[in-house]
A = this chain, B = another copy of it.
């Protein structure tokens, strides 16, 4: 563990953002910025490629080595078959092993496993492996798991769970995705 990376009075939280609404990844990004502003070291591991936003990648570049985003997954998996499905599985395995190594390393104060709930939902990562990983995390490290349909076992394990619920969505009004807001 890097010396001084983690303050001694910290109780690391397990946090889940789930639900069908906007704001799961975005709220994790806001937490990342707040933590970074406090001088903490933040890693974001992205399990689904399609969820990456250009704005946050540019921001991460500007914020330097204490704010790192790693793009690991393939695109959305829902309809993948055959070779495409195998690619998704291999990308998810790689993402999970990388996340595991980083969590165990203790080099970060906050690690965001973005869309890991989605990877679990589609059978790319087992819920047992996620729970076992959370059991191994350093006591003072915060871990955020995002994605809709979080499994009960993960909710049970978490300290803080928020459901983002869609009340109204602009696509349904025929408004296109907006630069700086949606991407």
List the interface of chain A (C-beta within 8 A of B): 7, 9-13, 15-19, 21-23, 25-40, 53-60, 62-63, 109-110, 142, 155, 158-170, 173, 175-176, 178-181, 183
A58 near B37 (CB under 8 angstroms)?
A: yes
Give Cα A164 to B22, complex, Å: 10
11 pairs from A and B in contact (CB 8 Å cutoff): A10-B178, A11-B175, A23-B164, A26-B30, A29-B34, A30-B30, A34-B55, A35-B55, A37-B59, A142-B178, A161-B166
A109 near B180 (CB under 8 angstroms)?
A: yes
For chain A, what secondary structure do more than half of its interface residues adopt (helix, strand, loop), or is it mixed?
mixed
> Which residues of the other chain, B, contact A39 by a CB distance below 8 angstroms?
58, 180
A179 near B7 (CB under 8 angstroms)?
A: yes
| Pairs of residues from A and B, 9 with the lowest C-beta to C-beta distance, nearest first | A37-B59, A29-B30, A34-B55, A30-B30, A26-B30, A35-B180, A37-B55, A37-B58, A161-B167
Which listed residue, B17, B30, B165, touches A163 by the CB 8 Å rule?
B165
> Which residues of the other chain, B, contact A163 by a CB distance below 8 angstroms?
21, 164-165, 167
Task: A13-B181, A22-B162 given; name 10 further pairs at CB < 8 Å.
Answer: A9-B179, A25-B30, A27-B30, A29-B30, A30-B30, A37-B57, A158-B168, A159-B175, A161-B166, A161-B167
Given the interface pairs A22-B160, A27-B30, A56-B33, the reply to whether A38 lies near B179 with Cβ below 8 Å is yes
